[in-house]
Structure 1
Amino acid sequence: MSGSTDRRVIRTRRMLQDALLALMAEKPFRKIHVTEIAERAGLARPTFYLHFRSREDLLLSHMDKIFEQYMLEIEPFLDLEEQDKLAAILFEQLQSNSTLIRLISESEDEITHLVMDRLQEYIRVVFGAFRLDPAPREFPPHIADFAMASLTGSTYALVLQWVKNDMPYSPRTMGKILMSLVRPGLVDVLLGDVLEGLIESGV
């Protein structure tokens, strides 16, 4: 019984996600209302609220699903020598979900902060998985946050340009481009190498 219930939940959530994407292709995100999403999905408005709190929550749930799949695919490569591979898999996931990514890029001014805040959370999770040393570190205040914000902005801007130019390069090439832009530098800061040097120098 629970299996069939789970399938119904998944199907309903997918219908709502598809309805949102269809509406985003027709009008700005800010003009889309929950009632429209439910109607486009062929569902009642109360059904929407059984699954999501708002249209923003619905959009982020779609992004979360992509990220969950990404984390599954990078698990075998969580090694400091495999950063290019992790970046390539990121662009593979984006390419596989190009409809959503294109719609986000076309409405970037409306939902930029929403998307970037969630992207920064994703990046924190990925770098958390990189930390092989379980011992806690005392980092200078704010420096890691500065680096994280810079990496998030760089990644988001690169993805937007890739999408706006019809994805002219392969995910593998884009992964190499991304890593060449952020390593060494931001990646070293977030992995702790630069921070330890700053601590030792008394900064």
Structure 2
Amino acid sequence: MNRSESRYFATAARMDEAFLTLLAKKDFEYITVKEICEVAGVNRSTFYLHYETMSDLLLESVSRMNEQFLACMEKDSDAFSAKLRNCPRDELYLITPDYLTPYLSYIKNNKRLFRTATENAAVLGMDKSYDRMFRHVFTPILDRYGVLQQDRPYIMAFYIRGLMAIISEWLKNDCADSITFVTGVIQQCVKMPQSETTNAV
């Protein structure tokens, strides 16, 4: 990375931090480009060099936080996948507490950002973001159940959108319910019924 590129990304990082600082104090719809620029110490032309709209800045902030979470989780991904492949069938959930607890904690700690993101999910394409977040969890479990490859996109779409709906409802309630409670609700919704998996591998 040359010096010009370094300055470009450093400026973007300052605006991102300014956005998160303001978001901790007020709702997204009340944050202006002028405020972002004042807090970040840049001018309006610099903002528009990086982003076309405030929604672009929101998307970048959410993407950055999801990347940070994935980087953290992927450190233990091999052990996590091995556990999914080897645990007893009656303990096999499509989403486990080992994954949900840190992710829900992460959301709760950044609830204003994620609430704003879910409220603008269609614009931001959040379904694609969640698809990436949970794909490496679903894949070994669908392998265990012997689910056909042609069926998997539909099954994953069903579960991912359901997860998004539960998390969105939790955020609407300001994450008032405990993480343990929300984890239990999600597991009730996504555990594969044994009657449907009798012949699975």
The TM-score normalised by the length of structure 2 is: 0.66
Indicate which of 104, 108, 111 corresponds to 1:101. Answer: 111
Indicate which of 84, 87, 97 corresponds to 2:100. Answer: 87
Q: Does 1:123 align with 2:133?
A: no
Alpha-carbon distance in structure 2 between the residues aligned to 1:7 and 1:92: 32
Alpha-carbon distance in structure 2 between the residues aligned to 1:28 and 1:126: 25
Q: In 1, are the aligned partners of 2:101 and 2:183 still within 8 Å (CA)?
A: no
SS of alignment partner, residue 183 of structure 1 = helix
Alpha-carbon distance in structure 2 between the residues aligned to 1:54 and 1:114: 15
What is the match of residue 182 of structure 2?
178
Describe the shift of the 1:68–1:141 C-alpha distance in structure 2 as closer, same or farther (beyond 3 A).
Answer: closer
Q: In 1, are the aligned partners of 2:33 and 2:44 still within 8 Å (CA)?
A: yes
* Equivalent runs, 1:41-190 vs 2, <5 Å: 41-75=40-74, 76-77=76-77, 78-79=80-81, 80=84, 83-95=96-108, 98=109, 100-102=110-112, 105=115, 112-114=119-121, 118-130=125-137, 131-132=139-140, 133=143, 137-139=149-151, 144-161=156-173, 163=175, 165=176, 169=178, 174=179, 176-186=180-190, 188=192
Which is worse superposed, 54-63 or 80-89?
80-89
* Gap regions ≥5 residues in structure 1: none
How many aligned positions are there? 179
Q: In 2, are the aligned partners of 1:38 and 1:45 still within 8 Å (CA)?
A: yes
Alpha-carbon distance in structure 1 between the residues aligned to 2:37 and 2:168: 30
Using the TM superposition, give the Cα deviation of residue 101 of structure 1 relative to its aligned residue in structure 2, in angstroms: 2.2
The superposition leaves residues 14-34 of structure 1 with CA deviations (integer Å, 9 ceiling, x where unpaired) of 221233234445655334333
Query: What amino acid does structure 1 have at the position aligned with 2:163?
Result: L
Using the TM superposition, give the Cα deviation of residue 178 of structure 1 relative to its aligned residue in structure 2, in angstroms: 3.3
Query: What amino acid does structure 1 have at the position aligned with 2:49?
Result: L
Q: In 1, are the aligned partners of 2:118 and 2:126 still within 8 Å (CA)?
A: no
Alpha-carbon distance in structure 2 between the residues aligned to 1:27 and 1:122: 25
* Gap regions ≥5 residues in structure 2: 88-94
Alpha-carbon distance in structure 2 between the residues aligned to 1:129 and 1:26: 35
Alpha-carbon distance in structure 1 between the residues aligned to 2:19 and 2:186: 34
